[in-house]
Amino acid sequence: MAATFLDRIKLTWDLSAEDIKNRVDSLIKTVRDVYDKVGSLKENELTYENIIQSMTDNDSYYSVQRNMLDFPQHVSAKKEIREASTEADKKLSEFDVEMSMRQDVFDNLVAFQSKTDVSKLKPEAKRYLEKLIKLGRRNGLHLAKDIQDQIKAMKKRASDIAIDFNKNINDENTVLEFTEKELDGVPADAIKRFEKTSDGKCKVTLQYPDYFPVMKKCRIPETRRQMEFAFNSRCKEANTKIMEELVEIRHKKSQLLDFPTHAAFILDMRMAKKAESVATFLKDLSQKLRPLQEKELKRFLQYKEEECKELGIEFDGKINYWDMRYYMTIAEEREYSIDHNKLKEYFPLDHVTTGLLNIYQELLGLKFKEVENPPVWHEDVQMFTVIDVATDQFMGHFFLDLFPREGKFSHAACFGLQPGCLEPDGSRQSAAAAMVANFTKPTSDQPSLLTHDDVETFFHEFGHVMHQICSQAEISLFSGTRVERDFVEAPSQMLENWVWEKESLSRMSKHYKDGSAIPDELMDKLVKARNANAGVFNQRQILLGTFDQTIHTKDKADTQSIYAEISKDVLQIPATPNTNMCAAFGHLADGYDAQYYGYLWSEVYCMDMFHSRFKKEGIMNPKVGMDYRKYILQPGGSMDAIDMLKKFLGREPSQESFLISKGLQA
């Protein structure tokens, strides 16, 4: 029987609500003791061991324990566990703020730096010391005590209400009821899956597996209108207030720290460096995409006019928010003759998973083995071990939690659970990460079938999992995906390219009934359709990035009217009156504030990496795969992203491949 290495994982998922509460208190005491010891040292007592080593060891311990307590809020099936975990997150976030404001620890770090020849420190240790001092200054520890107290209070308030913001989204449980006639055009498998009322109506939630089939395929505009209105009104009353308070707090805090805006404060730690660079990037790209977008919107209007005549309903002469995804789908089907419902039949989840895991193993020189009867948080969850093929060395574990359930995190994401780093004794702590998603559950007569978008999401998020596992950083602060936030998506976005290449697509697809391959004609159409609706799709990303930058360069923001104004200008589709998409824009309360532009920014690098190495030398070329693992994944955040890129590319990055990938001239 294959080794499971369960002794190498320090996480447990059988904690009760009371256990979580008690462990929080115990963890806080343990970690505070470490900070107290470091803070109480006299200047002449400071050594590498009692300050840097002490803190890196503590970081690793705290990270594992904290993840064990705050991850269940996203995945536990028990409401009391989720609530206890949410409270733990609040309490620990408050504690994080308190520890990040320790004047005594900051002063000792500065004193150690000034008395030490830092050039003789190991590179990661030097980077760690410099980063902690910079973070201390960003917390105002070089400022007067009264200003520090204001910053501390602001950080606590912001942390508390951001947790509430995301809890409100996760707890959102609106259900709309429609007759099957009102859902005309929605795929039969979705109709079958919907719960039914006593009088036979379908109960449709606002979760993605329900929402998108209706918005993409329902022929009845009124049904789509009701769905879109409800979707973009989620948590509107509570979360609009929270977001607007967050904007004010962030601005005030940034000004106390001598930054003009919150965006300037955030970007100081990013590849982009300045808000002006981001604004120019988004504006230039929007202008380049405008002709493509206008052409697409014109076609959408033609399709809408034709359909209104056919259905005998009034044509209003415009594309509304509830029309956008529907006519994007029609455009794709007509212009590329892609029937996504038919295509879905070739992507049964089990086969996609097998194919995807095989591709990653081959590309990165790894071996995965599923753990039987794994210690996990829900019966749906699978657990795997990861072994390096060349050395037979154990590298870590990953978990797959792929189906929706009540109260679960509603998007797709990778959660780092145990950072790969050095232990206090110099041995290596293995990494552990979870991919959480919400793919359609199998039914009694049909397996879980993925849309091509789902397959792309799977590839993307699993790319983050591999970043967590393959990182060989020594210090937990630099483990896994802890790179600059505007680079963090690039490694995963780069790997999305595999779902658009025939060679890799054929390895993770087969018809769920007879096992047949995707017909060549359909495969060709799919690959050609990659840039379908590229103008509208990318302008929507620019809209979100611009909205995020706009509210975070102001002292206060009326989010509803700002979003509506930018939507009209950039997307050229008016926001539906009395909705506020921002109230469910979880990124802005979950660590992506002033950073949503990063999805497009990092795409510049992802396309450069893919086209200049993989596309040129072979998408399954193990030599390129190992270079990618060595230069991009292995360092984690232990060096600047630009230096990793230059090593992998052999030159400075270029925008050329990115622009071509959008259907534009370089």
**What is the set of active-site residues?**
461
For the chain, the first-to-last Cα distance in angstroms comes to 54
Phi/psi at 437 (5° precision): -145, 180
How far apart (Å, rounded) are the C-alpha atoms in residues 195 and 201? 8
How far apart (Å, rounded) are the C-alpha atoms in residues 337 and 613? 32
Cβ–Cβ under 8 Å, residues 192 and 170:
no
How far apart (Å, rounded) are the C-alpha atoms in residues 569 and 290? 11
Q: Of all residues in the chain, what percent are helix, strand and coil, respectively (each to 5)?
A: 60, 10, 30
How far apart (Å, rounded) are the C-alpha atoms in residues 477 and 458? 26
How far apart (Å, rounded) are the C-alpha atoms in residues 617 and 501? 14
How far apart (Å, rounded) are the C-alpha atoms in residues 160 and 163? 5
CA atoms within 13 A on the CB side of 435: 26
* Nearest residue to 39 (alpha-carbon basis) of 164, 141, 134: 141
Torsion sign, CA atoms 548, 550, 551, 552:
positive
Residues 6+ apart with CB under 8 A from 20: 69, 72, 81, 84, 85, 88
Structure tokens belonging to residue 24: 């929080």
How far apart (Å, rounded) are the C-alpha atoms in residues 288 and 661? 13
* Nearest residue to 89 (alpha-carbon basis) of 32, 20, 19, 10: 20
C-alpha distances in Å from residue 361, one per residue of 5, 193, 562, 626: 19, 34, 46, 11
Cβ–Cβ under 8 Å, residues 361 and 368:
yes
C-alpha distances in Å from residue 80, one per residue of 16, 170, 402, 514: 9, 14, 22, 44
How far apart (Å, rounded) are the C-alpha atoms in residues 498 and 271? 26
C-alpha distances in Å from residue 410, one per residue of 212, 463, 585: 13, 19, 12
Residues 6+ apart with CB under 8 A from 197: 177, 203
- Return the residue matching tokens 């007592």: 45
* 277: DSSP letter: H
Query: Helices 17-40 & 54-70, crossing angle to 10 degrees?
Result: 160
How does strand 394-401 pair with strand 413-418?
Answer: unpaired
Three-state secondary structure readout of 440-484: CCCECCECCECCHHHHHHHHHHHHHHHHHHHCCCCCHHHCCCCCC
